[in-house]
């Protein structure tokens, strides 16, 4: 009787293999993602001059939005629509490139520091702390002063500004993983370092990187915007959202659409990324909630 009982173990009781519901992002975050994808489309469109030629003069100067120039014209008579599109493209491109570099570097440094420990850890964290001590804009200005204003300065400052926090978080995650028993077991059974890092540490750290990378992107856009706004980032005639806002500022009184267009798009970009980041964080690091009642 006992033997058959063993074989019958999963039969007859419903729902033995209860499945966890697939987790999805909440509606707000999905909206953010959608918005972001829309902006990417706009950026791609700018590459083929979908909204027009950003440098071409199409009409009279400083005209409010209307047919032929749906976002108005600037002080040279250029249509704002393609200029804003180009601005989106430049801003997104520079920020994304910078964040990718940051992600790679901080993943490397963070995992090294967290997993290896010792004075490598000390060294890396000291440098990180150094960078972290500067306000973002101040660091960006310093970079621009050394490297000269331009796209390189923009990208480099975003990288330097976002590396500290990301490295710290990756390191913390790596430390938590390194202490887990399965990693020790893998090490004891002779797995080489790259294998341990690739197979065990990296997948667990990936979630943190994804979430923080998203936030870093919004920081990057903000930093690039500020730097270019002050005149030390992207240089005209190239347009980024920060440059456009700076240029529009001069004619603000007469032609408010010059800054409203790029301004709204900028805020939209940052907001949708932040909202997406929040959603990703809830998805990857879900938290219980408790009522105080």
Binder to other proteins among 36, 81, 266, 280 (CB under 8 A)? 266
Q: How far is CA 5 from CA 16, 78, 252, 256, in A?
A: 16, 82, 82, 80
* Among 113, 242, 261, 280, interactor with other proteins by CB under 8 A: 242
Residue 259 binding other proteins, by CB under 8 A:
yes
Q: Is 206 in the site for other proteins (CB under 8 A)?
A: no
| Nearer Cβ to other proteins (192/284) | 284
Q: Of 95-103, 172-180, 182-190, 281-289, which part binds other proteins (CB under 8 A)?
A: 281-289
Taking CB under 8 A as the rule, does residue 60 contact other proteins? no
Instruction: Pick the binder of other proteins from 117, 150, 207, 263 (CB under 8 A).
Output: 263
* Distance separating alpha carbons of residues 166 and 47, to the nearest angstrom: 31
What residues does 57 pair with on adjacent strands?
Answer: 78
Q: How far is CA 15 from CA 12, 18, 97, 136, 280, in A?
A: 9, 5, 47, 54, 30
Binding mask 115-144 for other proteins (x = CB under 8 A): -----------xx-xx--xxxxxx--xx-x
> Cβ-count burial of 36 within 10 angstroms (0-12 exposed, 13-18 middle, 19+ buried)?
buried
Q: Does 27 bind other proteins (CB under 8 A)?
A: yes
Q: What's the rounded Cα separation, in Å, for the pair 2 and 198?
A: 45
Under the criterion CB under 8 A, does residue 21 sit at the interface with other proteins?
yes
Would you count residue 19 as binding other proteins (CB under 8 A)? yes
Separation CA 89–CA 149 (nearest Å): 19
Q: Which of 90, 91, 162, 218 binds other proteins (CB under 8 A)?
A: 218
Sign (positive or negative) of CA dihedral 234, 235, 241, 243: positive
- Whether the Cβ atoms of residue 91 and residue 225 lie closer than 8 Å to each other: yes
- List residues binding other proteins (CB under 8 A): 1-2, 5-6, 8-21, 26-28, 126-127, 129-130, 133-138, 141-142, 144-146, 148, 218, 222, 225-226, 229-232, 242, 245, 248-249, 252-253, 256, 259, 263, 266-267, 270-271, 274-275, 278, 282, 287-293
């Amino acid at each position: 009787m006992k033997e058959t009982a063993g074989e019958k173990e999963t039969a007859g009781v419903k729902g033995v293999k209860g499945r966890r519901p697939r987790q999805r992002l909440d509606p707000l975050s999905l909206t953010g993602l959608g918005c972001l994808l829309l902006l990417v489309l706009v950026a791609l469109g700018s590459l083929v001059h979908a909204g027009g030629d950003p440098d071409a003069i199409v009409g009279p100067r400083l005209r409010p939005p209307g047919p032929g120039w749906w976002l108005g014209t600037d002080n040279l008579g250029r249509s704002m629509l393609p200029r804003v599109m180009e601005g989106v493209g430049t801003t997104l491109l520079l920020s994304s490139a910078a964040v990718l570099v940051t992600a790679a570097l901080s993943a490397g440094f963070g995992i090294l520091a967290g997993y290896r420990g010792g004075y490598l850890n000390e060294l890396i964290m000291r440098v990180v702390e150094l960078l972290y001590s500067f306000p973002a804009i101040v660091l960006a200005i310093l970079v621009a002063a050394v490297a000269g204003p331009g796209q390189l300065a923009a990208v480099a400052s975003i990288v330097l500004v976002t590396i500290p926090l990301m490295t710290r978080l990756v390191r913390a995650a790596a430390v938590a993983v390194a202490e887990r028993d399965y990693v020790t077991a893998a090490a004891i059974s002779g797995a080489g370092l790259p294998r341990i890092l690739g197979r065990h540490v990296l997948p667990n750290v990936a979630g943190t990187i994804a979430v923080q990378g998203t936030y870093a992107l919004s920081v990057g856009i903000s930093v690039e915007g500020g730097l270019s706004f002050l005149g030390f980032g992207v240089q005209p005639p190239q347009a980024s959202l920060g440059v456009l806002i700076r240029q529009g500022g001069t004619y603000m009184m007469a032609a408010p659409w010059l800054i409203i267009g790029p301004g709204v798009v900028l805020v939209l970009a940052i907001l949708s990324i932040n909202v997406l980041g929040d959603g990703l964080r809830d998805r990857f690091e879900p938290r219980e909630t408790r009522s105080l009642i």
